[in-house]
């Protein structure tokens, strides 16, 4: 970075830190994107003069509300809910809802900021937002989940709409929760409209939406490897997580001839040297979706598999690593372990799973590294296609959507390769994704003037 840009960037980050005290995740996400952007806009004064980066890093609004609900023992419980509407320059706010005890305003602001760039990269008209609650769904009965979702939507409904803001799922919010929230929105407003995505196909959901994030990440890996005349066949993969993203990434990895060695949850990871094949993946899906079980049970079910309590899987030798659980789940030491063990590619199914120090390790080692905003964009892309289907009142079949997803991921890869080209056929995917994502949003904002 030239010195004038460096001081611009330093000053900008000081301002971000001052205005967002203690919001470490948000500051981390802004830093990761902005260092590339300040380099890119060095000779583009129009972006500086219009303060574009300063504007994108200030959410349009953050709505916070009380969510009051009654548990099965008739205790009154109070949680906090949020919707962060980061930027709607190129389309209605779009992004998931997360229910997890770790949710804070900082976490949702980082996710909404990232989502703005990710959604821009998809090429679809989608702005960036995110929402959620610190409500912990673990161990809650079905009726408790329903009452919480209804209460959450009773506040949220006034802030969303098919042309305003279209939420979807994320950690702790799947098809069941979307159903309860959609039902409540419809009950309050009296309108059936495409206000949420990730719906079941019976009431306006899209085929391929559950598979899209995990499959898309593997399609992106395939593009990265193909760019280096390599492929997935015979590669071993270490995957973290055991939810929707991880299980579908495992599924597509296996279908394309790879071998998946691990899955994990917050208690630890399972290592299966025989490979986690389709039958075992289906077992994990049932374990998590139907029984709410823990991944440790996998080691009791399948011989040769071992459970590693309290550990993450990054020390297991592999060709590719797919962090598909949550933010900051892969640190500097773990990144070094992956590189030392010969890992050639890291593809993020989760949002910001690698720490800034960890990313530096991958960059210095010159291995393939795909940030979440590019690699996991398949999920929100199919959400965008769900919105199109709802608006047209039609449903496309699985085959068509599968083809569209493959093409979308190829397009995202091409955009990264174009803007992240660092010579010798090499691509800086972080830089490519940041610049390509930024450009579309920034140019739209320039067109609007000072708003």
Q: Minimal distance in Å, beta carbon 139 to ligand GLU?
A: 23
| Residue ranges with strand state E in 211-334 | 236-240, 259-265, 268-271, 306-309, 320-323
How many distinct helices (H) and strands (E) make up the chain? 17, 12
Using DSSP bridges, classify how beta strands 320-323 and 61-70 pair: parallel, antiparallel or unpaired: unpaired
**Cβ distance to ligand GLU smaller for residue 168 or 322:** 168
The yes or no reply on residue 106 touching ligand GLU (CB under 6 A) is: no
From 130, 280, 288, 439, the catalytic residue: 130
- Residue 327 sits at φ, ψ, to 5 deg, of -70, 150
Largest CA distance in the chain: 65
Region near ligand GLU per CB under 6 A, out of 93-101, 155-163, 312-320, 358-366: 93-101
Region near ligand GLU per CB under 6 A, out of 17-25, 90-98, 101-109, 228-236: 90-98
| Residue ranges with strand state E in 278-432 | 306-309, 320-323, 345-347, 368-370
Has 363 been annotated as catalytic? no
Q: Minimal distance in Å, beta carbon 113 to ligand GLU?
A: 12
Q: Minimal distance in Å, beta carbon 106 to ligand GLU?
A: 16
The yes or no reply on residue 402 touching ligand GLU (CB under 6 A) is: no
The yes or no reply on residue 383 touching ligand GLU (CB under 6 A) is: yes
Q: How many CB atoms lie within 10 A of CB 451?
A: 6
- Binding-site size, ligand GLU (CB under 6 A): 10
Which residues 6+ apart lie within 8 Å of 178 measured at CB?
Answer: 168, 169, 196, 197, 198, 199, 200
Which residues 6+ apart lie within 8 Å of 129 measured at CB?
Answer: 83, 84, 85, 86, 93, 94, 95, 112, 115, 165, 167
The yes or no reply on residue 29 touching ligand GLU (CB under 6 A) is: no
Q: Which two tokens stand for residue 276?
A: 């986690």
Region near ligand GLU per CB under 6 A, out of 18-26, 91-99, 149-157, 303-311: 91-99
Region near ligand GLU per CB under 6 A, out of 184-192, 313-321, 353-361, 377-385: 377-385
User: For residue 332, what is the enclosing H or E element?
Assistant: helix 332-340
The yes or no reply on residue 379 touching ligand GLU (CB under 6 A) is: yes
The yes or no reply on residue 177 touching ligand GLU (CB under 6 A) is: no
The yes or no reply on residue 87 touching ligand GLU (CB under 6 A) is: no
Radius of gyration of the chain from Cα atoms? 21
The yes or no reply on residue 170 touching ligand GLU (CB under 6 A) is: yes
- Own/partner contacts of 361-364, CB < 8 Å, gap of 24 or more, are 361/332, 361/335, 361/336, 362/335, 363/428, 363/430
Cα–Cα distance, 391 to 385 (Å, whole number): 10
Cβ atoms 127, 90 nearer than 8 A:
yes
Region near ligand GLU per CB under 6 A, out of 6-14, 75-83, 330-338, 379-387: 379-387
Residues 191-210, mask of contacts with ligand GLU (x by CB under 6 A) = ------x-------------
Per-residue DSSP letter, 191: -
Q: Minimal distance in Å, beta carbon 171 to ligand GLU?
A: 8
**Cβ distance to ligand GLU smaller for residue 79 or 170:** 170
Residues 343-362, mask of contacts with ligand GLU (x by CB under 6 A) = --------x-----------
The yes or no reply on residue 179 touching ligand GLU (CB under 6 A) is: no
- Residue from 59, 81, 91, 96 that binds ligand GLU (CB under 6 A)? 96
Cβ atoms 190, 339 nearer than 8 A:
no
Q: Minimal distance in Å, beta carbon 323 to ligand GLU?
A: 14
- Residue from 59, 92, 95, 313 that binds ligand GLU (CB under 6 A)? 95
The yes or no reply on residue 94 touching ligand GLU (CB under 6 A) is: yes
**Cβ distance to ligand GLU smaller for residue 96 or 313:** 96
User: For residue 228, what is the enclosing H or E element?
Assistant: none
**Cβ distance to ligand GLU smaller for residue 258 or 323:** 323
Residues that bind ligand GLU (CB under 6 A): 94-96, 168, 170, 197, 351, 379-380, 383
Question: Could you list the active site residues?
Answer: 130
């Amino acid at each position: 970075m030239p010195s004038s840009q460096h001081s611009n960037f330093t000053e900008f980050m000081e301002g971000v830190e001052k205005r967002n005290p203690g919001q470490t995740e948000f500051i981390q996400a802004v830093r990761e994107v902005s260092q590339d952007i300040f380099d890119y806009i060095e000779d583009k004064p129009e972006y500086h003069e219009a303060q574009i980066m300063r504007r994108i890093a200030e959410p349009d609004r953050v709505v916070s509300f009380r969510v009051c609900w009654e548990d099965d023992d008739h205790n009154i419980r109070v949680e906090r809910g949020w919707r962060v509407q980061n930027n709607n320059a190129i389309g209605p706010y779009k992004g998931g809802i997360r229910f997890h005890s770790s949710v804070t305003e900082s976490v949702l602001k980082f996710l909404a900021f990232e989502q703005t760039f990710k959604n821009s990269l998809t090429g679809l008209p989608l702005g960036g937002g995110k929402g959620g609650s610190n409500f912990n769904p673990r161990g809650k009965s079905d009726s408790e989940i329903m009452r919480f979702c209804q209460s959450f939507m009773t506040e949220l409904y006034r802030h969303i709409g098919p042309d305003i803001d279209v939420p979807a799922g994320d950690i702790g919010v799947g098809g069941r929760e979307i159903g309860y929230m959609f039902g409540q929105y419809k009950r309050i407003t009296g309108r059936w409209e495409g206000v949420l995505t990730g719906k079941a196909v019976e009431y306006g959901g899209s085929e391929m939406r559950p598979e899209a994030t995990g499959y898309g990440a593997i399609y992106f890996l395939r593009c990265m490897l193909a760019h280096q005349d390599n492929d997935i066949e015979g590669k071993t993969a270490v995957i973290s997580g055991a939810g929707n993203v991880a299980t579908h990434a495992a599924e597509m990895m296996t279908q394309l001839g790879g071998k998946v060695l691990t899955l994990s949850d917050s208690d630890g990871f399972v290592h299966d040297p025989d490979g986690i094949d389709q039958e075992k993946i289906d077992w994990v899906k049932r374990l998590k979706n139907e029984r709410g079980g823990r991944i440790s049970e996998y080691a009791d079910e399948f011989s040769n598999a071992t459970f590693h309590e309290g550990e993450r899987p990054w020390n297991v030798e592999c060709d590719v690593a797919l962090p598909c659980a949550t933010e900051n789940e892969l640190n500097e030491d773990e990144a070094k372990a992956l590189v030392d063990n010969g890992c050639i590619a890291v593809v993020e199914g989760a949002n910001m799973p690698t720490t800034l120090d960890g990313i530096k390790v991958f960059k210095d080692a010159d291995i393939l590294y795909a940030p979440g905003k590019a690699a996991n964009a398949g999920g929100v892309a199919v959400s965008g296609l769900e919105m199109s289907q709802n608006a047209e009142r039609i449903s496309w079949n699985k085959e068509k959507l599968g083809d569209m997803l493959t093409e979308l991921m190829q397009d995202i890869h091409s955009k990264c390769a174009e803007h992240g080209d660092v010579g010798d056929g090499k691509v800086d995917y972080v830089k490519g994704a940041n610049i390509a994502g930024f450009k579309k949003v920034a140019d739209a904002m320039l067109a609007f003037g000072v708003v």
